[in-house]
Amino acid sequence: MRILFVCEGNINRSQMAAAYLKKIAPNVEVVSAGTVVPPERHGKRVEEISSKGDSAMREVGLSTAENVVQLVSEEMVNDADKVVLMGMLNSLPDYLKNSSKVETWNIPDPGTAEVTHAEARDAVIEQVTRLSKN
């Protein structure tokens, strides 16, 4: 089973979800990507761009610091068994928008200050736990 988590910048929600699912379901292959990843961020480690999400994950014994930021691709979507959008994302490519593999979770983006990084983490953990039981 391969799960692809997608958010916009690939520095908070999707990275949190991937880290947590890897911990609770090590037999599941997990990929994380973003729909809006500027070229200068692509391939960089999360800690180089945003440490707040990683700090929230460290509070629960995990880290996203070494994870690499990447732009979602059609190949990633095709290779996944399930694609989880972390919220209603503004700019979706057609191959993602039209995929029957997509499930959307309503997890607010801590980058917009709607919620704290810890609140987003807790929402992610709740949803990932539910997903792992299915």
Distance between CA 77 and CA 33 in Å, rounded? 10
Structure tokens at 128: 């990932």
Predicted confidence at residue 101, as pLDDT, reads 96
- The partner residues of 83 in beta bridges, in order of sequence, read 4, 102
Predicted confidence at residue 78, as pLDDT, reads 96
Structure tokens at 99: 């995929």
Predicted confidence at residue 97, as pLDDT, reads 87
Q: What is the pTM of this model?
A: 0.94
pLDDT digits (tens, 9 = 90+) for 44-62: 998 888 889 999 999 999 9
Residues of the chain with pLDDT under 50: none
Give every CB contact of residue 58 below 8 A, 6+ residues apart in sequence: none
